A and B are shown apart, each in its own frame.
Chain A
Amino acid sequence: MTQDVVLPLSILILLIPLLSFLINIFFGNKLGRLSGVVGTTILGIDLGLAIVVAFTKLTSYGTLHIIQNRVEWFNLGSVKVLVGIGIDNIAAIMLIVVTLISFLVHLFSTVYMEGDRRYPKFYAYLGLFTFSMLGIVIANNFLLMYIFWELVGISSYLLIGFWYEKNSASNAGKKAFITNRIGDLGFFIGIMILFFTYGSFMFEDVFAGISSGVMPFNNPTMLTIAGICIFMGAMGKSAQFPLHVWLPDAMEGPTPVSALIHAATMVAAGVYLVAKVFAMFTADALTFIAVIGTITAFISATIALTQVDFKKVLAYSTVSQLGFMVMSLGVGGYTNGFFHLVTHAWFKAALFLAAGSVIHAMHHAAHHMHDHHTDAQDINNMGGLKKTMPWTYRTFLFVTLALSGIPLTSGFLSKDGILAGTLAYANLTGGWHWIIPVLAFTAAGMTAFYMFRLTIVAFHGEHKTEIAKHTKENKLPIVLPLVVLAFMSLWIFYSPNPIDASKGWFHKMIVQPKSAVPDAYQWSFLLNEHAEEDATVAHQAEGSTTHLEATTGKPDDVKAAGHTTGHYLNKFQEESHHFHYIAMILSLLIAGSGIALAFMIYQYKLISADKLEARFKFLHTFSLNKWYFDELYQATAINGILVVSKALSWFDNYVVDGLVNLSSYVTRGFSYVVGLFDNYVIDGAVNLTATFTGFLGAKLRKVQTGHIQSYVVFVLLGILILLYFFI
């Protein structure tokens, strides 16, 4: 397959889910039960195409930086606004991630959403979401990215609030949407700074502008600020501290949605964005990103320790893992950050689908027993599910191992890479930066602990309630996605070596892009060590609107990474390699002790959980209440806005309304005077004229006798008068 086919096929991949949306939104009611089949089939076709495109890109054109086109959308005066789509290696991989998970979730939902009143609408929204997410993946410019970004936001809103009859669900939808708006505002400001400076939305134009030394407002700090603004978009979507509060609430949506949107794909969009525009971040911006990622990873890991809602634990775990990805990108570990995104997508989707499976079974059992009060999502109501749901348990256990970072899983490879990266970063920068690896390792240990707490409490031991005893394993459409996703979490898909991914195809294909930022504003250890030929991309003239073109990037990068020992892309990668084994041993020790602790407390009850809780009452309450973030925002942001709104409302009611009423009184008075003038002076004059005319008419009508003969006399007289005057 030639590379000309890649872009049209990508557009097809983008549009096919939209077709699913249109069919289900317009003909959903007619289709009824069939809409699930239609949606799943369409996504299956889409998945097939995505696999074809991704394999073509990765195998035949893996060394090409990006296959893309540029199309002139419209003109703003003299500024041409260009858009386009592009497939680079990370986009190719994301295509598979999005379509495969979306396909599995479609399949899963055929059973999970069975009997829902708005079943076709659910599939319509899933189609819309998949369409928008694929749009983000294949956009090669900020403008399209932003448009699809917002589309993803709206589909997320629709799906979180899918059961909008529940007050908490509709509130969660609103919360997610509004919190995302804050991030998106920053994103938009960042885009505008860049567009104002470089006159283009295209990533490559912006990077070329930056590397040619042009700075926004001639100030390198502004480049950092622009980077942070762009990153704010990622903070919103990827639920980074302090905007992470929406993601746990988003669990009000149906569980397949949580798996698709709030675990695997949409929340990864922020990380994907940071990876896409990685070349434009300055050292300061990267530091900011790393710090935000670290704080997020740590805080949410601590919160996940004490949650009792099955999905809430997973939600905070997602936030924490997203923090890991962002942190990895921030410290310069581009490849590992994106690697973790992909591996995490598989096993977190599997975890959520397993959660869906459990909740579905719990609901069924509760329904069967006519028990509508027990919370089907509370892990303290479960227990012993290992016996009743063996397949769910097996897959869940395996992906839990992956998330905890145990060898032979993909999660081990990526997490280990990230942790080695943080150590390398701290070693290279020194000082307070050592906090980052310390918090990262702590969070990794907590991850292992809370995941095993969840597994043990929910699946091991005795049935804690009657409901749990009556749960049954679900049907094939629910179990199959779990197995597929668990299978995808094996190490073998990424690297033949189960403890080191750096020789695998993934690390060969995903190479850190050359930073566009001038050397003075970038970490020296991120600069590419050997001089390479100019990485700027060659273009054909912009005039041709639909012409496809492939821009060749830097093929030698790939070679450099694929080199045998001794040649690293930059100092950071060399250092990461040195820390690889230290990080591995450390992370295994920490994860192992986390798991051991979980077993001691919850499985063998060597340590009483209640006593621990009583001992660390303050910490427990703090974690259980999610560090009081919601209350903090309630007290500051929300109440602040309420107070301001009240003040504004008072101002509105008394000052503005007063002024308006005053002016209306003045106007009324004036109108009254004008009315009088109108009535008596103007109407008087008009009436006078009319009366005068009427009077005249009354006099003159006497002439009209109706006697033809008198008219003849008048004519005669007239002629005589005319004769007298003219002759």
Chain B
Amino acid sequence: MEIGLTHYLIISAILFSLGLYGIITRKHAIMVLMGLELVLNATNINFIAFARYGGMNIEGHIAAIFVIILAAAEAAIALAIVLNIYQNFRHVNVDEVDNLKG
């Protein structure tokens, strides 16, 4: 069986779901960020797969590189936020950061 687009998409979907699961369930803020990275990488796999098989060609690669750059920027900002959270709450448990509760 030849490895095709479908396989990549399945891998990507699994990775996306794992990432989403991590975002939703982890209590530690860093873990939530890692889930986020997984989601981003799942989309990257999608881009590359479509570039290879779906006729997206070079645009897919460029989009993937954009996502990687964005992920780096996002990680920098997110980690800064996490640091701030830690300074304010002396912990990084997202369950307890609920000041916006209605």
**Are the CB atoms of A712 and B24 closer together than 8 Å?**
yes
**Are the CB atoms of B101 and A705 closer together than 8 Å?**
yes
**Are the CB atoms of B102 and A709 closer together than 8 Å?**
no
Of residues 43 to 99 in B, which have CB atoms within 8 Å of A's CB atoms?
94-95, 97-99
Query: Looking at the complex, which of A333-341, A366-374, A597-605, A696-704 is the stretch in contact with chain B?
Result: A696-704
Q: Is A566 engaged at the interface, CB distance under 8 Å to the other chain? A: no
Residues of A within 8 A of B100 (CB): 704, 706
Closest to A697 in B: B102
B99 vs chain A, min Cβ distance (A) = 6
Q: Is A606 engaged at the interface, CB distance under 8 Å to the other chain? A: no
Q: Is A707 engaged at the interface, CB distance under 8 Å to the other chain? A: yes
Q: Is B40 engaged at the interface, CB distance under 8 Å to the other chain? A: no
B65 vs chain A, min Cβ distance (A) = 26
**Are the CB atoms of B98 and A709 closer together than 8 Å?**
no
Q: Is A147 engaged at the interface, CB distance under 8 Å to the other chain? A: no
**Are the CB atoms of B20 and A716 closer together than 8 Å?**
yes
- Complex CA distance for A534 and B11, rounded to whole angstroms: 121
- Complex CA distance for A713 and B21, rounded to whole angstroms: 10
**Are the CB atoms of A713 and B98 closer together than 8 Å?**
no
Closest to A710 in B: B24
- Contact A713 to B102, CB < 8 A, known contacts A706-B97, A707-B94, A708-B94: no
Of residues 350 to 398 in A, which have CB atoms within 8 Å of B's CB atoms?
none
Q: A704, A706, A713: which has the most chain B beta carbons within 10 Å?
A: A706
- Complex CA distance for A705 and B102, rounded to whole angstroms: 6
**Are the CB atoms of B94 and A709 closer together than 8 Å?**
yes
B61 vs chain A, min Cβ distance (A) = 27
Residues of A within 8 A of B101 (CB): 704-706
**Are the CB atoms of B23 and A712 closer together than 8 Å?**
yes
Residues of A within 8 A of B20 (CB): 712, 716
B59 vs chain A, min Cβ distance (A) = 25
- Contact A709 to B25, CB < 8 A, known contacts A701-B102, A702-B102, A703-B102: yes
Residues of B within 8 A of A708 (CB): 32, 94, 97
Closest to B27 in A: A709
Residues of B within 8 A of A703 (CB): 102
- Complex CA distance for A704 and B24, rounded to whole angstroms: 16
**Are the CB atoms of A709 and B97 closer together than 8 Å?**
no
- Complex CA distance for A303 and B23, rounded to whole angstroms: 120
**Are the CB atoms of B99 and A709 closer together than 8 Å?**
no
Closest to A700 in B: B102
Residues of B within 8 A of A707 (CB): 94-95, 98
Closest to A703 in B: B102
- Complex CA distance for A700 and B95, rounded to whole angstroms: 20
- Contact A713 to B99, CB < 8 A, known contacts A707-B94, A708-B94: no
Residues of B within 8 A of A705 (CB): 98, 101-102
- Complex CA distance for A293 and B33, rounded to whole angstroms: 116
Q: A705, A707, A713, A716: which has the most chain B beta carbons within 10 Å?
A: A707
Closest 8 CB pairs of A and B: A704-B102, A706-B98, A706-B101, A701-B102, A706-B100, A709-B24, A707-B98, A712-B24
- A–B Cβ pairs within 8 angstroms, 29 of them: A700-B102, A702-B102, A704-B100, A704-B102, A705-B98, A705-B101, A705-B102, A706-B97, A706-B98, A706-B99, A706-B100, A706-B101, A706-B102, A707-B95, A707-B98, A708-B32, A708-B94, A708-B97, A709-B24, A709-B25, A709-B32, A709-B94, A709-B95, A712-B20, A712-B23, A712-B24, A713-B24, A716-B20, A716-B24
